[in-house]
């Protein structure tokens, strides 16, 4: 029957498509496909329209939500039927029906009316499941092992519970979290495929639980639950000097299983003092240091019902049974992604056996090999080889990155760690006497399961490798929180790094939920006076806060997410945090000048080794603070405008004027020279509109002069770099921006590429031309901050952007700006509306541009032309085409507006 319905649906869609009818698909609830664990009262619903004609718009929609997919299609038992709503909104439409119940599954579908008033069919049915909404829904208690734990090596405890499911099971949902990390099993099978759960948040106020549909893992009769814990971020080593137990010394488990029987009754199995505990094969597990597994200590079948657990200890109820900090999981969990095989196994000059996986990645190596009982195999991880080709770990500082596996010796054994991850390209194998081959090892990349959204490529292979490196920098460092680096004893949510890269990140992947979750931690860890920590979650301390360009993540990231995804609710939720940060600065300022306190400044700016004549590009730190004060205030005004907070708009607009006036007085000479004659100084002043209009052109020229004085090299650090090319292209120096982008010698984006990098480096000169390294105390080879150029590559080279007053690509800008030696560039972006494409090439004096615009959006297209030349679309002048609205055609550029569809433009250039 089900098959028949599916066939009919496919058939119907096929015919609807052929007839040119508009269709609805790609349903999202809270930006995810069929999510479980929703704890907002009005989930946001989105859908996409499609059809095979141009200019499709939605004129109305109808949503229906029910408690079973069957009754939904009959329109019965609905909890909400929106009726026909005349509106073009197809993204983030709030649920508006009856109150939603804890743990319940809801089924929904939508149909639309297009711009011709034609109704689509109903979309396929999608679903979501609510989380536990009331504190009283939690029946489970926090439990800890019942035996005395070794507090030095801290082996992973196992928890076990058996129970009888007396009746036929209809469905079952597990709600699990831990103080530490957990991995759960039911009847021997892994629950879900999320890794490193429950993820990292500001645990004291926000601890995520995960929710799993485990109906298929349970059976009528005897069942068993087994859970392993690791110390994770909760109790593990974090930050420097081997400090640990940042949130508490005792790991603990919270587990609740809600079973629905077919007779309509419900049973709850939850963690309490009836559980049992023991230890197993994981002897040691630390995020920085790696894991030790002794397979001889494995308790075979320990999560099966038939296992004999009479030697196990009981458990103790945790002294801290707090559940008020529990929240559902907002972001996509960390999952296993690309596998890699060693491309080479070799012996280094120092005589060590090393594997090269060909890519600097973050994850772990799975080993499948045979050994003798008690023998071991040890894997150590490194990012680079040194000048002589030897395995190099100094830049890891105290992080050991070492996994040790001890064989039980009964045939081929499979090992991989559970509660750790490594940043590496090279793996050194020791302690193993047998032969090894690539077949024995598979490296897996682990990262948050954010859907991929953007692709960029062009005619220059080095730039393509740069894009690859940016993408891999993001994969490796978007591991539940945006981290600075994934390998040394750090791996923290550094705020500057995150804000600098956030817009690029939103091109490459759908990071809406990823950042929505992190921003709540930013707000949670914000000090009462509004100051924002250097790292979030904050594990540094209450005074490590308030640095310009770092703390501004509180305003910059919400605004960037709003531009990319147009989720007004996020802006609304972050608004108090944004405002508190601006108010903090205001409190620190005197006469509207923020010139006090500690600041990192333009971190890792160009600093030549032989800086005898003062060539280091040092930018006055307080000039920087003032620029960020203005920027954050501007973003607060923007947010206030969107949210209709008119009093705030007026107040902060007046403040902004004073901030800029104070800047002019303190840091700018009457002729417009800045007190720091650095690229970063000019970049920030210009990007944040600190200078009056009449001084901008000359300031941009000074920037260009400065670039030339360094022989066409950049000198910017973390704060100047993201805006450098934007400022140049905005003020008429596109050529200089391209020159910097295509520069191959150090300092530049392509220098690391030429040196064989597969990720973005922390420093412009992480490895010198003679292959020696920068100072090992700060030399990561996987740090995404300088990858912020990716935003310019998408927004300027391929020209894909959103209008700020119609964000989330509701009104698209396509403004490709060819330059440098590029002859071709192509970008695609999956938005909530569908795919945008901008792909251009220069061929025989022709500029050819292929554009794709998703339904229910419009795009303004800018095409460069020669001497006012005309633009053709598929062989016809655009001025003659009905479905293209020509807005302007001047000497250098033609400008027109289009609706959805595919377009092929050509013009002489």
Residues of this chain, 429-488, that bind ligand BGC according to CB under 6 A: 484-485
Task: Look at strands 811-814 and 858-864 and give their pairing.
Answer: parallel
- 762 is an active site residue: yes
- Distance separating alpha carbons of residues 117 and 485, to the nearest angstrom: 52
CB 717 to ligand BGC: min, Å: 10
Q: In the Cβ-directed half-sphere of 55, how many Cα atoms lie within 13 Å?
A: 9
Please name the residues in contact with 477: beta carbons below 8 A apart, sequence gap of 6 or more: 362, 483, 484, 485, 486, 497, 782, 783, 784
Residue 137 binds ligand BGC (CB under 6 A): no
Tokens 């948050």 locate to 448
Residues of this chain, 698-757, that bind ligand BGC according to CB under 6 A: none
CB 377 to ligand BGC: min, Å: 31
CB 467 to ligand BGC: min, Å: 21
Range list of H helices, 366-418: none
Stretch that binds ligand BGC, among 205-213, 336-344, 355-363, 489-497 (CB under 6 A): 489-497
Among candidate residues 725, 764, 760, 730, the one with its CA nearest the CA of residue 741: 725
Rg of the chain on CA atoms, in Å: 29
CB 747 to ligand BGC: min, Å: 17
| Tokens, residue 224 | 């068993």
CB 257 to ligand BGC: min, Å: 41
Nearer CB in complex with ligand BGC: 36/477: 477
Say how many C-beta atoms besides its own lie within 10 A of residue 380's C-beta. 22
CB 474 to ligand BGC: min, Å: 15
Phi first, then psi, for residue 539 (nearest 5°) are -115, 10
Q: Which of 229, 496, 539, 684 binds ligand BGC (CB under 6 A)?
A: 496
Among candidate residues 558, 467, 562, 468, the one with its CA nearest the CA of residue 794: 467
Q: Which of 95, 113, 441, 494 binds ligand BGC (CB under 6 A)?
A: 494
Say how many C-beta atoms besides its own lie within 10 A of residue 655's C-beta. 19
- Distance separating alpha carbons of residues 198 and 481, to the nearest angstrom: 12
Among candidate residues 461, 371, 436, 410, the one with its CA nearest the CA of residue 825: 461
Secondary structure E strands in 784-899 = 800-802, 811-814, 824-831, 834-843, 846-853, 858-864, 872-873, 876-877, 884-889, 893-898
Please name the residues in contact with 580: beta carbons below 8 A apart, sequence gap of 6 or more: 526, 530, 554
DSSP string computed for 640-694: HHHTT-HHHHHHHHHHHHHHHHHHHHHHB-TTS-BSS-SHHHHHHHHHTT-S-HH
Phi first, then psi, for residue 24 (nearest 5°) are -120, 135
User: Looking at 30, 762, 774, 852, which residue is catalytic?
Assistant: 762
Task: Look at strands 422-430 and 376-382 and give their pairing.
Answer: antiparallel
Nearer CB in complex with ligand BGC: 184/553: 553
Tell whether omega for the bond before 747 is within 30 degrees of 0, i.e. cis: yes
Say how many C-beta atoms besides its own lie within 10 A of residue 710's C-beta. 17
CB 581 to ligand BGC: min, Å: 17
Q: Is the dihedral of CA 836, 362, 443, 752 positive or negative?
A: positive
Please name the residues in contact with 627: beta carbons below 8 A apart, sequence gap of 6 or more: 548, 663, 684, 685, 688, 690
Stretch that binds ligand BGC, among 182-190, 290-298, 490-498, 632-640 (CB under 6 A): 490-498
Q: In the Cβ-directed half-sphere of 782, how many Cα atoms lie within 13 Å?
A: 32
Nearer CB in complex with ligand BGC: 397/658: 397
Which residue number places its CB atom closest to ligand BGC?
484
Q: Which residues of 728-766 are buried (b: 16+ CB within 10 A; e: fewer)?
A: bbbbebbebbbbbbbbeebbbbbbbbebebbbbbbbbbb
Pair 258, 268: CB distance under 8 Å = yes
Residues of this chain, 336-395, that bind ligand BGC according to CB under 6 A: none
**H/E stretch holding 589:** none
Nearer CB in complex with ligand BGC: 497/620: 497
Nearer CB in complex with ligand BGC: 323/491: 491
CB 741 to ligand BGC: min, Å: 22
| Tokens, residue 346 | 């070799």
CB 314 to ligand BGC: min, Å: 44
Stretch that binds ligand BGC, among 40-48, 309-317, 492-500, 793-801 (CB under 6 A): 492-500
Nearer CB in complex with ligand BGC: 354/384: 384
Nearer CB in complex with ligand BGC: 498/685: 498
CB 248 to ligand BGC: min, Å: 25
Q: Which of 30, 386, 497, 791 binds ligand BGC (CB under 6 A)?
A: 497
CB 583 to ligand BGC: min, Å: 24
Nearer CB in complex with ligand BGC: 217/485: 485
Nearer CB in complex with ligand BGC: 494/514: 494
Q: Which of 39, 332, 383, 490 binds ligand BGC (CB under 6 A)?
A: 490
- 298 is an active site residue: no
User: Looking at 144, 490, 774, 852, which residue is catalytic?
Assistant: 490
- Distance separating alpha carbons of residues 801 and 814, to the nearest angstrom: 6
C-alpha 881, offset from chain centre: 41
CB 627 to ligand BGC: min, Å: 18
Stretch that binds ligand BGC, among 181-189, 273-281, 493-501, 509-517 (CB under 6 A): 493-501
End-to-end CA distance of the chain: give it in Å, rounded.
59
Nearer CB in complex with ligand BGC: 397/645: 397
Residues of this chain, 596-655, that bind ligand BGC according to CB under 6 A: 600, 603
Nearer CB in complex with ligand BGC: 107/600: 600
Please name the residues in contact with 467: beta carbons below 8 A apart, sequence gap of 6 or more: 456, 457, 790, 793
Nearer CB in complex with ligand BGC: 473/864: 473
Stretch that binds ligand BGC, among 416-424, 494-502, 815-823, 848-856 (CB under 6 A): 494-502
CB 509 to ligand BGC: min, Å: 20
Please name the residues in contact with 403: beta carbons below 8 A apart, sequence gap of 6 or more: 290, 291, 292, 293, 364, 365, 378, 379, 415, 417, 420, 422
**H/E stretch holding 710:** none
* Site size with ligand BGC, rule: CB under 6 A: 9
Nearer CB in complex with ligand BGC: 340/600: 600
Pair 175, 256: CB distance under 8 Å = yes
Q: Which residues are catalytic?
A: 490, 762
Chain residues that interact with ligand BGC, rule: CB under 6 A: 484-485, 490, 494, 496-497, 600, 603, 783
């Amino acid at each position: 029957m089900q098959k028949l319905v599916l066939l009919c649906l496919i058939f119907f869609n096929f015919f609807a498509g052929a007839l040119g009818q508009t269709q609805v698909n790609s349903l999202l609830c809270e930006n995810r496909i069929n999510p479980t664990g929703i704890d907002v009262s009005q989930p946001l619903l989105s859908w996409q329209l499609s059809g095979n004609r141009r200019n499709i718009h939605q004129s109305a929609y109808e949503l229906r939500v029910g408690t079973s997919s069957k009754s939904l299609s009959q329109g019965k038992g609905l909890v909400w039927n929106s009726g026909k709503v005349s509106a073009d909104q197809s993204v983030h439409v709030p649920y508006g029906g009856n109150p939603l119940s804890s743990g319940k599954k809801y089924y929904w579908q939508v149909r639309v009316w297009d711009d011709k008033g034609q109704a689509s069919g109903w979309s396929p049915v999608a679903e979501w499941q609510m989380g536990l909404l009331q504190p009283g829904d939690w029946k489970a208690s926090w439990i800890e092992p019942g035996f005395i734990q070794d507090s030095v090596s801290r082996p992973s405890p196992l928890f076990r519970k058996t129970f009888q499911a007396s009746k036929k099971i209809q469905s079952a949902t597990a709600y699990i979290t831990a103080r530490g990390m957990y991995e759960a099993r039911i009847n021997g099978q892994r629950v879900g495929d999320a890794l490193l759960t429950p993820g990292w948040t500001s645990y004291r106020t926000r601890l995520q639980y995960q929710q799993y549909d485990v109906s298929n893992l349970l059976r009528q009769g005897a069942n068993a639950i087994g859970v392993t814990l690791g110390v994770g971020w909760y109790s593990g080593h974090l930050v420097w000097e081997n400090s640990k137990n940042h949130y508490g010394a005792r790991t603990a488990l919270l587990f609740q299983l809600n079973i629905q029987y077919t007779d309509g009754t419900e049973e709850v199995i939850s963690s309490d003092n009836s559980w049992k505990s023991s230890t197993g094969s994981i002897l040691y597990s630390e995020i920085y240091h790696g894991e030790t597994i002794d397979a001889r200590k494995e308790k075979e079948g320990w999560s099966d019902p038939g296992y004999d657990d009479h030697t196990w200890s009981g458990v103790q109820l945790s002294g801290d049974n707090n559940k008020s900090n529990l929240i559902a999981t907002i972001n996509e969990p960390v999952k296993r992604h690309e596998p890699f095989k060693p491309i080479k196994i070799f012996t280094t000059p120092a005589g060590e056996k090393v594997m090269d996986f060909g890519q600097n990645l973050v994850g772990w190596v799975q080993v499948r090999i045979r050994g003798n009982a008690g023998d071991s195999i040890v894997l150590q991880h490194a990012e680079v080889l040194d000048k002589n080709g030897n395995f190099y770990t100094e830049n890891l500082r105290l992080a050991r990155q070492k996994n040790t596996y001890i064989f039980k010796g009964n045939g081929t054994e499979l090992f991989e760690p559970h509660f750790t991850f490594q940043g590496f390209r090279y793996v050194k194998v020791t302690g193993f006497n047998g032969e090894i081959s690539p077949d024995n090892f598979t490296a897996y990349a682990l990262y948050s399961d954010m859907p991929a959204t953007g692709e960029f490529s062009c005619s220059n292979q080095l730039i393509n490798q740069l894009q690859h490196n940016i993408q891999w920098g993001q994969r490796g460092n978007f591991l539940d929180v945006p981290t600075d680096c994934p390998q040394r004893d750090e791996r923290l949510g550094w705020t500057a790094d995150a804000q600098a890269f956030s817009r690029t990140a939103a091109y490459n992947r759908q990071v809406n939920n990823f950042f929505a979750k992190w921003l709540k931690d930013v707000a949670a860890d914000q000090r009462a006076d509004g100051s924002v920590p250097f790292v979030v979650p904050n594990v540094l301390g209450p005074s490590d806060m308030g640095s310009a360009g770092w703390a501004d993540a509180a305003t910059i990231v919400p605004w960037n997410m709003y531009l990319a995804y147009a989720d007004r609710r996020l802006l609304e939720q972050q608004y108090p945090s944004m405002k508190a940060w601006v108010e903090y600065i205001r409190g620190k300022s005197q006469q509207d000048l923020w010139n006090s306190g500690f600041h990192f400044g333009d971190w890792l700016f160009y600093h030549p080794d032989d800086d005898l004549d003062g060539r280091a590009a040092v930018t006055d730190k307080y000039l920087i603070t003032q620029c960020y004060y203005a920027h954050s205030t501007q973003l607060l005004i923007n947010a206030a405008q969107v949210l209709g907070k008119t009093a705030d708009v007026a107040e902060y607009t007046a403040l902004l004027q004073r901030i800029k006036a104070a800047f002019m007085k303190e840091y700018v000479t009457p002729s417009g020279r800045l007190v720091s004659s650095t690229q970063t100084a000019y970049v920030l002043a210009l990007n944040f509109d600190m200078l009056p209009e009449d001084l901008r052109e000359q300031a941009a020229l000074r920037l260009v002069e400065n670039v030339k004085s360094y022989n066409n090299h950049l000198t910017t650090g973390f704060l100047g770099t993201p805006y450098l090319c934007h400022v140049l292209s905005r003020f008429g120096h596109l050529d200089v921006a391209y020159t910097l982008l295509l520069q191959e010698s150090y300092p530049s984006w392509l220098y690391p590429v030429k040196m064989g990098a597969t990720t973005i480096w922390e420093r412009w000169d992480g490895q010198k031309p003679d292959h020696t390294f920068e100072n090992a105390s700060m030399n990561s080879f996987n740090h995404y901050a300088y990858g912020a150029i990716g935003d310019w590559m998408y927004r300027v080279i391929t020209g894909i952007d959103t209008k700020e007053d119609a964000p989330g690509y509701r009104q698209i800008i396509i403004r490709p700006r060819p330059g440098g030696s590029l002859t071709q560039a192509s970008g695609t972006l999956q938005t909530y509306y569908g795919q945008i494409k901008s792909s251009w090439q220069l061929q025989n004096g022709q500029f050819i541009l292929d554009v794709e615009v998703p339904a229910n959006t419009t795009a303004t297209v800018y095409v460069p032309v020669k001497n006012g030349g005309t633009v053709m679309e598929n062989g016809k002048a655009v001025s003659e085409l009905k479905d293209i609205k020509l807005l302007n055609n001047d000497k250098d550029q033609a400008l027109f507006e289009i609706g959805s569809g595919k377009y092929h433009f050509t013009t002489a250039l």
